[in-house]
A and B are shown apart, each in its own frame.
Chain A
Amino acid sequence: MSPVLAGVLQLIALIAALALAYRPFGDYMAAVYSSPRHLRVEKVIYRCIGANADTQMRWPAYLRGILAFSLAGLLFLYLLQRLQGGLPLSLGFASISPDQAFNTAASFVANTNWQSYSGEQAMGHVVQTAGLAVQNFVSAATGMAVAIALVRGFARSRTGDLGNFWADLVRGTVRVLVPIAVLGALVLVACGVIQNFSGIHEVGQFMGGTQQTNGGAVASQEVIKELGTNGGGYFNANSAHPFENPNAFTNLFEVFLILVIPFSLTRTFGKLTGNARQGYAILATMGVIWLGFTALMMWTEFAHGGPALQAAGAAMEGKENRFGVGGSAIFSVATTLTSTGAVDSFHSSYTAFGGGLQMLGMMLGEIAPGGVGSGLYGMLVMAIIAVFIAGLMVGRTPEYLGKKIGTREIKLAACYILITPTLVLGFTAASMVLPDALSSMLNTKALNAGSHGFSEVLYAFTSGANNNGSAFAGLNANTPWYNTTIGLAMLLGRFLPMVFVLALAGSLAEQKPVPETAGTLRTEKPLFTGLLVGTILIITGLTYFPALALGPLAEGLS
C-alpha cells in the first residue's frame, strides 16, 4: 500500500468513527447539561466544595466561579511543584524553579499544556497525577461549561440565568470526561501504553550505551490529554514516545479522542437550541476547515519540497516510522486546530508550509473544531461577526438564532477577537527586539536563525495565547522571559475571552427572541457556512499574514 493511500484510508476511518459517535454522544452531552437530577457522587462533591448546584447564576456569578476555581487550581499546582523536593513518590526530582512552576501551573490551568520542562526529567508521580492530570480533567470541563453557558444564552430568553457553574463543571467531569477516560485508558493499555508507578529503569541500547526510562500512570494521563484537548505529555517526546502512543492504531485512536468532543458539541448546541440544523451548519464549517487543512498538510508533506527531503524520498524527518507521513499529518492538523498541542511528530521539522499550516490553524483561533468547549464558543463568536456583516446584506439588523446582534453583542465579540492577536503579535514583537529573548533563539543553535528562528518564536506565542501547547522545537523556552510571557499569554488568552463570552451569553439570554421569517438570514444553509469560512480566513488570516510571510512563507518560498 502506498503511503498516500494509507494516509487517506486512515482519514476515512477516522471520519467514520467520528460520524458514528456524533449523534449519540452529542445528544448525551445535551442530556447531561440539561438534566435536573444530580448523581449521588455529584451530591457528595457539591457538599465537599460547599456549592449549591441548584441555583441559577447570572453571567458575573458564573464568571466568578470560573475565576475562583481556576485561581485555586493555579495556586495549588504552583505550590505542588515548588514543594516537589519534599514530596513522596517524586522519583528524586527537585522542586521546580518559580518561573517554570508559574509557567507550568498557568499552562495546565489554562488547558494549554505548554511544557518548558521534560516530563521524565522533572515531574514525579505526585505532580503528574495529583496535579497535572487533575487539571487535565477540570480545565477541560471548565471550557465545556463556558460553551454550554453561551449555548444557553442563545437558547434562553428574557432571563439572565446561564445555569450553575459548579453543576456544569462537575457534570462535565463526572458524566462525560471520566467515563470516556476510563474506557479509553483501557483501550490504550490493551494496545501497549504503560500504566504503573515504577521508578526509573536503566536499559541497554542496541548500539551500546544505556538510557533511562521511567514508568508512570501514562495511559490514564494520555487519554485525558487527548480527550480534554490538553496535550501535556507524560514524556518530553509526547505522543511520539512509544509508551504514550505505541502504534498506528493508538495514533488514530488518540486523534479520535482529540476530535470527538469538539465535533460532537455542535450536536449538543443544535439540540439545546432546539434547531439541529444550526448545529450541523457549525459542524460543516469546522469540518470544511479541518478537512481542508488535513488535505493541504498531506499534500505538502507528501510532496516534500526541498533538496534534503527529496533526497531522503519523504518528509520523514521528525516523524515516527510507526505513523508515517499520513498518520503524522492527520495528528498534527488535529492537534493544532484544537487546543490540544500533543504531538506525535516534530512540528519544527515539517516542511515550511506544513509548519505554516500548523501556525495558521492555531491563529484561526482553534475553532475547527477547536478545544473542548473553547472551539464551539470561539466559532460562535466568529459566526456572530459573520452574521453581523452578512445580515446587513439581507436588509435587516443582524440576528443569529433569533437573537439580535446589536451594539453590545458586537462590542463583546470585537473584544474577543482582539485578544489573541494582541498577545501573539505583541509578545513576538517584543521578543524580536529584547536581547534576552533573542539569545534564546540565536545562541542555542546557529542553524535556526533567519525565518525559521522567527517561526519558532511566533509559534511559541501563537501556541501559548491560543492555549495549544505544542512547540516548534529549537527555541529554548525555559528562560525567565519566555516562562513568564508565555505564562501570561496562556492565562490571558484563556480567561479574557471567557469574560467576553460569558458577558455575551448574558446579553443574549436577556433578549426576547425574534421570530424567523422569509426575510431572516438562513444561518443553517451551505451559503452561510461558506461565508463563515471566508470570514474566518479573511479576518483572522489577514491579521497574521505579514508575520506568516516573514516566517514559513519566506522559508518555504526560498
Chain B
Amino acid sequence: MTAPVKPEEPGSMSTATPTRAPHQDVPSGHKPGDGRVGGGLFDPKQLLTSLPDAIRKLDPRVMVKSPVMFVVEVGSVLTTLFAVMSPADWFGWAIAAWLWLTVIFANLAEAVAEGRGKAQADTLRKAKTDTVARRLTAGGSSEEQVPGTGLRIGDLVVCEAGDIIPGDGDVVEGVASVDESAITGESAPVIRESGGDRSAVTGGTKVLSDRIVIKITTKPGETFIDRMINLVEGAARQKTPNEIALNILLASLTIVFLLAVVTLQPFAIYAGAEQPMIVLLALLVCLIPTTIGALLSAIGIAGMDRLVQRNVLAMSGRAVEAAGDVSTLLLDKTGTITLGNRQAAEFVPVRGTTEAELADAAQLSSLADETPEGRSIVVLAKEKYGLRERHQGELTDADWVPFTAQTRMSGVDVDGRKVRKGATGSVVNWVKERGGSVAEDAQQLTDTISQAGGTPLLVAMEDESGPRVLGVIHLKDVVKEGMRERFVELRKMGIKTVMITGDNPLTAKAIADEAGVDDFLAEATPEDKMALIKREQAGGKLVAMTGDGTNDAPALAQADVGVAMNTGTSAAKEAGNMVDLDSNPTKLIEIVEIGKQLLITRGALTTFSIANDVAKYFAIIPAMFAVAYPGLDTLNIMRLSSPNSAILSAIIFNALIIIALVPLALKGVRYRPVSADKMLRRNLAVYGLGGLIAPFIGIKIIDLLISLIPGIG
C-alpha cells in the first residue's frame, strides 16, 4: 500500500467538471416483472424482410460452417432429386419442401439476428461521412485540407465549432464541448480537453464549441466507429470457445445419428423392409440436433446485440462468454456503489446548542454553497427539521460568502450574525482568528464521524455571544438505492463483489458494510488493483472490472472482462475488451447477466433439441417397420394416422419448432439471479421435460391436420 489518501475534503469536490449527463442510478432496461435482461421485442415482420438474406445463405460454402444444417441441406438436395425422379409421388415432394423450409428457417433465424445489427450499422455509417480534415503542417504554422481517409497516425488536426472530428485521437491542445450522440445516442454534449483522462475523441463526433488540436492515434478504416460497424454487423464475428465446443458436440451427435440411419438400411433389407431413401433422409433430419444447430449462431449474434442495445460494445464474443463465468467483480465505489457525492446525513450539536439551532445555522450557511454537498445540507434541514429552503434574495442586507476551493467555507453575514460552515481546519481557524474558542466536544464529534467513515463539516457562528462552534454536519457517502439487494443476488449467483476505493480503510469498511459488498480494497492504487486481479486469477477465478483512466489500462487488460468507459482515455478503451458508451459502471452487473443468459439459452435449446428425438423415434420407427413387424405398431403410441403422415408430421414439427423458437433465441431464456441448483432445476423442467413432451403433442396435432387433407390421411 502506498501513502494513505485522505478522504477527500469537501472543497475538492466541486472542482470536478461533470463531463456528461449523470449516471443512471437504476440499471437500464429493467422493468419490474419483466425478465431482467430482456431483449428488444421480436417483430414477426423481420422474418419477411430477412427472407432474401436467408435464401442467399443457402450457398453451401456458407452452410458448411454449421455442420448440422449442412447435412440438412444435402438431405434437401437429395430428396428433391428423388422427388424429381418419381414426380407422381406427393410424399417425396412434401418431404423435400419441408426439408428446404427447415434449412431456410435456420438461415432466417440467423438473418433476423443479423438484421438488427445492420440497422444500427447503417446509422453509424451516416456519422462516418467523408470528412475533410484540417491538418497542421510540420511546423504547426499553417493548415492544409486533406480528406479524412488520408490521415496518418501522429498527424495533428484542428477542429473548431461545427467541425466533424476526422478520426480517433487525443486532444493535445484546448478544450471543447463535443456532441457524441452519433455513437452513444446521448444528446448532452461532453467536455473534451487536453491532458488527463478526458482527452480522447472519436472520429465522426461533432465539435460544438471552441477549438481543439487533435493528435490522430488510429489509422483510417480502423477507427472506433469502423470497429463498431463491423461488430454490430457481425462481419468480425468469430465463433467463441464455448460455441466451438458445442458445435463439436453437435457434429459428433450428427455423426452418431448418421451412422444409425446409414446402417439401418442393411438391417431393414435383412428384415425384408427396405426403406425408400426419402424416408431414411427424413429420419436422419429428425434425429440430428437441428433445433439447436439452426439457432446456435442466432443466439450468439443476439447475445452481442443485447449488449449493443444497452450501449455496450464487446470487442469479442469471447468477452461476453467470459462475463458469464465471472466470479469476482471489482466495482469502483464512486459512481457504482455510491452516488458519487457525499450527502449530509445528520446534524450533531455541541453541548449547549440545540439541534434546531444547528440545523438553522447549517442551512443558512449553505445557501451560498452550490456544490452537491451544500445542496444536500439544505435538503436535510428541510426534510428532517422542516426548515423551509430560503433563497438568497429573501434575506435583505445579507452578505453572502460563496464556497471556494481556497477558503473551503461558505456562509452569510446577516442581521449581525456571521455563520460559516466548512472543512474542520478552515472553520477552526476562522473561529480562532476571531478570538473565539472551539468547544472541547467538537473535536470528539469530528473524530467519531471520521472513524465511522464519514466526513465532518463544522458549523460556526459569531453573534453577540461571540464566535463559537455550534456543531458538526455528518457528510457521508450514500449507497445507491437497490445496490444491497443487487449484491445479495450476485452472492446467490456465486459472484464475489470487491469495492475499490481511494478512501482510507475505515471509511471504506463503513461503506462496504453498508452496501453489503463481500470485500473492499481501500487506498487502492493501480498496482493494488492489478495485484488483486492477479491474485484472484491465480485462484482460478475470472475477474471483471470497469475503468476509465490511463492508469487503469494495465488492469483492464489483465481482467477477463474489462469494461472501459467511453468517457475514458483511448489507452483505457484500447486495453479493455468492452466499451460502455453510457459510461455507467453499474452496467457491469448487467453485462454478467447477459453473458450468463447467452450460455443458458444455448444449453436450454440444446437440451430441448436432444430431448425431442425420443418422440420422433416413436413417430417414425413404427411408420417404417410396422408392415414388416406388425408388433412394432405398439410403439405408435401417438396413434398417428398413416406411415406417410407420421413421417411428414415429424418433419413438419421439426421445421416449425425452429421458427417457433426464434423469438426465444433472440430474446434469450428468462434469467433470474438464483443459485445454480435452482436454475438447473427450473431449466431442466422447462427445456428437458418440455422437450420430451412437446413433440408428442405437436406431432399429433400436425398429424390430425394432415389427415384432414383429402387423399392423404
Residues of A within 8 A of B (CB): 385, 388-397, 402, 405-407, 409-411, 414-415, 417-418, 421-422, 425-426, 428-430, 432-433, 438, 450-451, 454, 512-515, 517-522, 525, 527-528, 531, 534, 538-539, 542-547, 549-550, 553-554, 556-558
Contact = CB atoms under 8 A, between A and B. Distances in A.
Contact of B613 (A418, A542, A550): A542
**SS class, residues of chain B in contact with chain A:** helix
A512 B536 CA distance: 12
A429 B258 CA distance: 13
Interface stretch (B48-56, B192-200, B477-485, B671-679): B671-679
27 contacts: A390-B684, A393-B600, A393-B680, A395-B595, A395-B671, A395-B679, A397-B241, A406-B242, A407-B245, A409-B245, A410-B248, A422-B259, A430-B266, A454-B271, A514-B540, A520-B494, A521-B676, A525-B677, A527-B684, A542-B257, A543-B256, A545-B617, A547-B260, A549-B625, A553-B635, A554-B271, A557-B631
A397 B539 contact: no
Contact of A391 (B261, B327, B603, B634): B603
B541 interface: yes
B296 to A, nearest CB: 12
Nearest to A538: B610
Given A395-B599, A518-B492, A421 B252 contact: no
Contact of A429 (B256, B262, B604, B628): B262
B249 interface: yes
A395 to B, nearest CB: 3
Contact of B540 (A421, A426, A512, A549): A512
A58 to B, nearest CB: 22
Contacts of A407: 241, 244-245, 248
Given A546-B621, A554-B631, 11 more contacts: A392-B246, A394-B679, A395-B595, A395-B676, A396-B676, A397-B241, A410-B249, A428-B266, A518-B492, A518-B675, A521-B676
Contacts, number: 215
Interface in B232-286: 241-242, 244-246, 248-249, 251-253, 255-257, 259-271, 283
Q: Which 3 A-B pairs have the closest CB atoms?
A: A392-B603, A519-B494, A517-B494
A407 B287 CA distance: 24
A390 B603 contact: yes
Given A549-B635, A554-B625, A557-B629, A519 B676 contact: yes
B398 interface: no
A467 B242 CA distance: 33
Nearest to B675: A518
Nearest to A396: B325
Given A389-B607, A429-B263, A397 B321 contact: yes
Contacts of B287: 542
B75 interface: no
Given A393-B680, A418-B252, A515 B267 contact: no
B261 to A, nearest CB: 8
Contacts of B621: 545-546, 549
B325 A553 contact: no
Contacts of A538: 610-611, 613-614
B124 interface: no
Contacts of B366: none
B260 A388 contact: no
A385 B610 CA distance: 13
A413 to B, nearest CB: 8
A554 B324 CA distance: 48
A406 B632 contact: no
Interface string B301-327: 000000000000000000001001101
B688 interface: yes
Nearest to A408: B245
Given A395-B599, A407-B244, A539-B253, A433 B629 contact: no
A393 B635 contact: no
Contacts of B681: 527
From B241, B256, B324, B677, name the one whose CB has the most chain A CB atoms within 10 angstroms.
Answer: B256
A392 B259 contact: no
Nearest to A395: B596
Given A410-B248, A557-B634, A557-B635, A421 B260 contact: yes
A539 B254 CA distance: 11
Interface in B600-619: 600, 602-604, 606-607, 610-611, 613-614, 617
A393 B683 contact: yes
A517 B538 CA distance: 16
B493 A519 contact: yes
B597 interface: yes
Contact of A550 (B242, B539, B629): B629
**SS class, residues of chain A in contact with chain B:** helix
B630 interface: yes
B695 to A, nearest CB: 13
A154 B428 CA distance: 66
B269 A433 contact: yes
A511 to B, nearest CB: 9
A277 to B, nearest CB: 14
Given A405-B245, A513-B540, A543-B256, A518 B493 contact: yes
A393 B687 contact: yes
Nearest to B272: A450
B491 interface: yes
B71 to A, nearest CB: 15
Contacts of A557: 629, 631-632, 634-635
B599 A518 contact: no
A83 to B, nearest CB: 39
A384 to B, nearest CB: 10
A193 to B, nearest CB: 41
Contacts of A428: 263, 266-267
Contacts of A421: 256, 259-260
Contacts of B599: 392, 395-397
Contacts of B543: none
Contacts of A531: 680, 684, 688
A454 B596 CA distance: 48
Contacts of A545: 260, 617, 621
Given A393-B684, A538-B611, A418 B256 contact: yes
B256 A451 contact: no
B495 interface: yes
Contacts of A547: 260, 263-264, 267
Contacts of A426: 259, 263
Given A512-B540, A557-B635, A543 B625 contact: no
Nearest to A438: B270
Contacts of B257: 542-543
A544 B602 CA distance: 26
Contacts of B597: 395
B610 A539 contact: yes
A418 B245 contact: no
Interface string B653-693: 00000000000000000010001110111011001100000
Given A392-B599, A393-B679, A513-B540, A518 B491 contact: yes
Contacts of A522: 676-677
A520 B676 contact: yes
A394 B248 CA distance: 20
A549 B269 contact: no
B495 A549 contact: no
Contact of A521 (B321, B632, B680): B680
A554 B256 contact: no
From B607, B676, B679, name the one whose CB has the most chain A CB atoms within 10 angstroms.
Answer: B676
B688 A534 contact: yes
Given A417-B256, A422-B259, A395 B324 contact: yes
Nearest to B607: A389
A531 B324 CA distance: 22
A320 to B, nearest CB: 30
Given A389-B607, A519-B493, A432 B629 contact: no
A282 B259 CA distance: 29
A549 B631 CA distance: 10
